[in-house]
Chain A
Amino acid sequence: MPAFSRILVANRGAVAARVLRALAEMKIPSVAIYSDADAGAPYLGLAGETVHVGPAPARESYLNQDAIISAIKQTGADAVHPGYGFLSENASFAERVHGAGAHFVGPSLRWIDDMGHKAKARGLATRYGLPVGRGSGVLSREKDTILSAAASIGYPVLVKPAGGGGGIGMLPARTPDELIGAVERAAALCERAFGTADVYLERFVERPRHVEFQILGDRHGNVAHLFERDCSVQRRYQKMIEEAPAPAASRERIAATAASLAGKLAVAGYDNIGTVEMLMDADGDLAFLEMNTRLQVEHGVTEEITGVDLVRAQIRSAAGDRLADILPHPITMRGHAIEARVYAEDPRRFFPSPGKLTVFRPPAAQGVRIETGYCEGRDVTPHYDPMIAKVIVHRPTRESARAALIDALGAFPIQGVKTNIPTLLAVLGSEEFQAGRPHTELVAEIVARMR
């Protein structure tokens, strides 16, 4: 491949560690960036060189485009890996990276731009022939138009932000009266969080499952899928547990959807790593939710069942290699993988719990994979997201994977911050999860039962 000569990793924590590890294995020189809060972080040792990009607050460091662009120029990096979060789905940053003479390890600019606007993405998905659930375009502020949009979708509806994700500004409405208030509240929240008050409506699915498809495209018109992940175990739209393959689902239907998505995205010219997120209703029908044009936090479960290193694959695709040379033929799935995200948060009130990791001892059992940017003695600061580790297990069956993950989480002593491990264990031990019936309301229901 026309290999990159030096790649700058524009991120921090677990994903920076993951990408730096892949670069070391590929023998590609790497550059890590860090803020004041991350000086001395364990993963920085994996990098060929490091550049300080600013103070702890993200907007002054990991979101500071000027500082990152000057780090690219200063180190002569010819590619940038954005990780996930921060600037990974920021089209103007990708454009500036190109302007600085470097490649952006991700899809072409138009994809980042199109899929970043969620209402626009729905329109495009419809045009590309993907199955899209009933919904509206961006709502006007007129009461009558809002009400008639909802009437044509059918109640209950979900008010959603057009300009952002993460569950912020998403409000369900069951009646026209509820709807008008929900649209006003959601628009105000969105204005504050995303700088745009645009909201739209979607059909509200009761207790849905979140099933997503891993996609990889190349620069030569080829797109493949690497099966699906079930990420239904969430709290307020924050994923907590992810697994592959999706349990208790029709393999035929999932396989047909995956193949159809890959085919349609190939026609549309998708050209790097991406994930199509879908909602599955009680009948097993799948509807397009959104497409993420980057590596996903939960990519590890797919790597475990397929044996494909997605970060290396993503980098090779960006460098111009063909899928035929990157991926095995055929791509097969072996066993079952489950990942739990360990968050520094109070398991009772779900408040963030920053602090010093006075004890942090990831289990070293065989077949247990840990992805983290922390080590014992490091501070978990309030500046970044609360995820302190991902614990991934891979076993021949779902039930043995579930048992192994329970063991691994039980053997992961952490002190100095509170963690969500009790909640993770309650979910993994629940009858619903064990039976392969996760859904997006499950965590809330289990927490209510625990009280």
Chain B
Amino acid sequence: MAEIEAKTEVTGSVWKIVTELGQRVEAGETIMIIESMKMEIPVMSEEGGVIQRFLVEETTPVSEGQVVAILTT
């Protein structure tokens, strides 16, 4: 069981978390949406896995490359 880090590709703030703890997501599925400069940029899972932890909440400011959720395969 490997841990996967889901990272945001942009600096902004968390607009909406669209998944729940314990939820299984497939590769390429949106975990949460970051709002930056009036655009919505999804954080997508690189691999399929189960969401173990969220490291942010809605409205939390985030920086490019920051880990926002941990999944396990």
Q: Chain A: residues with CB nearer than 8 A to chain B?
A: 57, 344-345, 349, 351-355, 382-386
Contact = CB atoms under 8 A, between A and B. Distances in A.
B38 A354 contact: no
B40 to A, nearest CB: 9
Contacts of B37: 344-345, 352, 354, 382-386
Nearest to A386: B37
Contacts of A355: 11
Interface of B: 9-13, 35-39, 41, 61
B9 A351 contact: yes
Contacts of B35: 382
User: Which 8 interchain pairs have the tightest Cβ spacing?
Assistant: A352-B37, A382-B12, A382-B36, A352-B36, A386-B37, A354-B11, A351-B10, A385-B38
A83 to B, nearest CB: 15
A343 to B, nearest CB: 8
A120 B22 CA distance: 45
A352 B41 contact: yes
B13 A382 contact: yes
Nearest to B62: A382
A451 B11 CA distance: 25
B9 to A, nearest CB: 6
A174 to B, nearest CB: 25
Contacts of B38: 384-386
Interface centre among B12, B37, B38 (most CB of A within 10 A): B37
B29 to A, nearest CB: 17
Contacts of A386: 37-39
12 contacts: A349-B9, A351-B39, A352-B10, A352-B11, A352-B36, A354-B11, A354-B37, A382-B13, A382-B36, A382-B37, A386-B37, A386-B39
A351 B13 CA distance: 14
A70 B51 CA distance: 46
A106 to B, nearest CB: 22
Contacts of A344: 37
B43 to A, nearest CB: 12
B66 to A, nearest CB: 13
B8 to A, nearest CB: 10
A385 B13 CA distance: 14
A351 B37 CA distance: 9
A349 B10 CA distance: 11
A400 B36 CA distance: 37
Contact of B12 (A345, A349, A354): A354
B39 to A, nearest CB: 6
Nearest to A354: B11
A38 to B, nearest CB: 15
Interface centre among A57, A355, A383 (most CB of B within 10 A): A383
Nearest to A343: B37
Nearest to B59: A57
Contacts of B13: 57, 382
Nearest to A57: B13
A205 B59 CA distance: 39
B26 to A, nearest CB: 20
A382 B10 CA distance: 9
Contacts of A351: 9-10, 36, 39, 41
Nearest to B11: A354
Nearest to B38: A385
A382 B9 CA distance: 13
A385 B38 CA distance: 6
A181 to B, nearest CB: 18
A384 B36 CA distance: 8
Contacts of B61: 382
Interface centre among A57, A349, A351, A384 (most CB of B within 10 A): A351
A355 B64 CA distance: 10
A192 to B, nearest CB: 9
B36 to A, nearest CB: 4
A285 B37 CA distance: 35
A382 B38 CA distance: 8
Contacts of A57: 13
A203 B35 CA distance: 31
Interface centre among B11, B12, B38 (most CB of A within 10 A): B38
A351 B40 CA distance: 9
Nearest to B34: A382
A178 B15 CA distance: 29
A354 B61 CA distance: 12
A239 to B, nearest CB: 14
A349 B61 CA distance: 21
A385 B11 CA distance: 13
Contacts of B10: 351-354, 382
A344 B38 CA distance: 12
Contacts of B41: 351-352
A354 B39 CA distance: 12
